[in-house]
Amino acid sequence: MKAMYHPDDLAAMDPLVLMKNLDHTRMTSRRLSYILQQQVHLYTPEANLLREKIDTYVEAERQIEGEMARRRIRA
């Protein structure tokens, strides 16, 4: 899976920007999960694309949380 953020970019981000990006990734992955749950009639390829997008945002969330932990920033 391709990372959404490069580690150097995360390291250079202001703490406020990190927190805003974390909020964005969390909201987006939850919204996509909700869409996937509601769209049970989706064909498999469409459902798989949604799952891939969800995985991308969840991975971005992990990246941001890791950077915040490294800097000891609390959300």
Q: CA 61 to CA 19: how far, in whole Å?
A: 10
Domain that holds residue 52: 7-71
- Write the pLDDT tens digit of every residue in 8-66: 999 999 999 999 999 999 999 999 999 888 876 667 888 888 889 999 999 999 999 99
* pTM tops 0.75, yes or no: yes
Domain count, the chain: 1
In this structure, are residues 66 and 4 in contact, taking their beta carbons and an 8 Å threshold? Answer: no
Give domain status of residue 63, yes or no. Answer: yes
Give domain status of residue 2, yes or no. Answer: no
Give domain status of residue 46, yes or no. Answer: yes
At residue 1, the pLDDT reads 65
